[in-house]
Amino acid sequence: MRLRTLQILVVCLVVAFWYVMTAPGLIPPFYFDKANRAAFFFGEPQKVFWVIVEWFATGEIFGHLGVTLLETALGFLIGSVFGLAIGLWLALSPTASAVMDPYIKGFNSMPRVVLAPIFAVWFGLGIWSKVALGVTLVFFVVFFNVYQGVREVSPNLIANARMLGASRRQLLRSIYLPSAMSWVFASLHNAVGLAFVGAVVGEYLGSSRGVGYLILQAEGTFDINTVFAGILVLTAFALALDAAVGSVERRLMTWQPRASETEKV
């Protein structure tokens, strides 16, 4: 509880600092030459707050938020499924893995955000160009973790399952998949964040809906308060998604020892 109090205190201090530094005329300007310049560049916390309240009160935000979340969810799901499938395939097939290795490395080191304009051309300005961008970002995170996870399955475990009579298919289901899952879940936290990045960056580059679009519009009219409001809303929902992944993870990974749990004999 003490920790929670301190955490809230940090937020209050940051907001207070933000307010004091930007409120026009509260303290004499020491960097900008006019009193309202700081507010122009950095926004004002109370105004940001009211923008958010108004968004939710009028319901204006929901359509945009829904689009962004849909893009995120689709990018996340499709990217994860592809990453899982191809990660399993390449990890279990040494030849395919050896052939694909340089291309995988190449695609991974490429700054994939540069693909966004191409996706806009291919998939139009609707949600699919954003989903495609999210998929390319999510895919590699999940892929590498699955690949690693399958590669690091203990040879003992595989030999034991084989001696117990497991077929190749049963090995995949009972050994490789569950073993890879712990790695996958470690990567899903990252993947959710990246799917969000894909959605929002895609919206920046061209869209007619979404929170990224709202932010872009506000930026066009130098409405910094709305920009900050958009950023805050996005952050809050990214945190919520991350928590959702965490709770699914806790439910599915009950077999994993927690650090604090003592061994019961």
Partner 1 sequence: MSAGVPALRLEDITCRFAARDGGGAYTAVANTSLTIAAGEFVSVVGPTGCGKSTLLNVAAGLLAPSQGSVSVFGQPLIAADGVNRRAGYMFQADALMPWRTGIDNVVAGLEFRGVPRAEALAQGEAWLRRVGLAGFGDRYPHQMSGGMRKRLALAQTLILSPDILLMDEPFSALDVQTRQLMENELLALWAEDRKSVLFITHDLEEAIALSDRVVVLSAGPATRPIGDFKVDLPRPRDVSEIRMTPGFLALHREIWAAMKEEVLKAYAAQKAA
Among 162, 172, 237, 238, binds partner 1 (CB under 8 A): 162
Minimum CB separation from partner 1 for residue 152, in Å?
13
Minimum CB separation from partner 1 for residue 185, in Å?
12
Q: What is the DSSP string of 51-87?
A: HHHHHHHHTHHHHHHHHHHHHHHHHHHHHHHHHHHHH
Of 56, 221, 212, 35, the C-alpha closest to 133 is 212
How many chain residues bind partner 1 (CB under 8 A)?
25
Minimum CB separation from partner 1 for residue 263, in Å?
7
Residues near 17 by beta carbon (within 8 Å), at least 6 away in sequence: none
Cβ(163)–Cβ(181) under 8 Å?
no
Of 180, 113, 102, the C-alpha closest to 148 is 180
* Window 175 to 204, contacts with partner 1 (CB under 8 A): 175, 178-179, 181
Q: How far apart are CA 129 and CA 133, in angstroms?
A: 6
Nearer to partner 1, 92 or 158 (CB): 158
Burial class (CB in 10 A: 0-12, 13-18, 19+), 136: buried
Q: How far apart are CA 20 and CA 27, in angstroms?
A: 7
Nearer to partner 1, 23 or 181 (CB): 181
Cβ(178)–Cβ(121) under 8 Å?
no
Any contact of residue 170 with partner 1 (CB under 8 A)? yes
Residues near 55 by beta carbon (within 8 Å), at least 6 away in sequence: 61, 229, 233
Among 1, 10, 114, 265, binds partner 1 (CB under 8 A): 265
Nearer to partner 1, 47 or 151 (CB): 151
For 88, the 3-state DSSP assignment is helix
Any contact of residue 172 with partner 1 (CB under 8 A)? no
Nearer to partner 1, 21 or 92 (CB): 92
Minimum CB separation from partner 1 for residue 88, in Å?
16
One character per residue 115-154, x = contact with partner 1 (rule: CB under 8 A): ---------------------------------------x
Any contact of residue 157 with partner 1 (CB under 8 A)? yes
Cβ(47)–Cβ(19) under 8 Å?
no
Query: Which range of residues in 72-80, 133-141, 158-166, 202-210 is near partner 1 by CB under 8 A?
Result: 158-166
Minimum CB separation from partner 1 for residue 167, in Å?
7
Q: Which residues bind partner 1 (CB under 8 A)?
A: 154, 156-157, 159-167, 170, 174-175, 178-179, 181, 254-257, 263-265
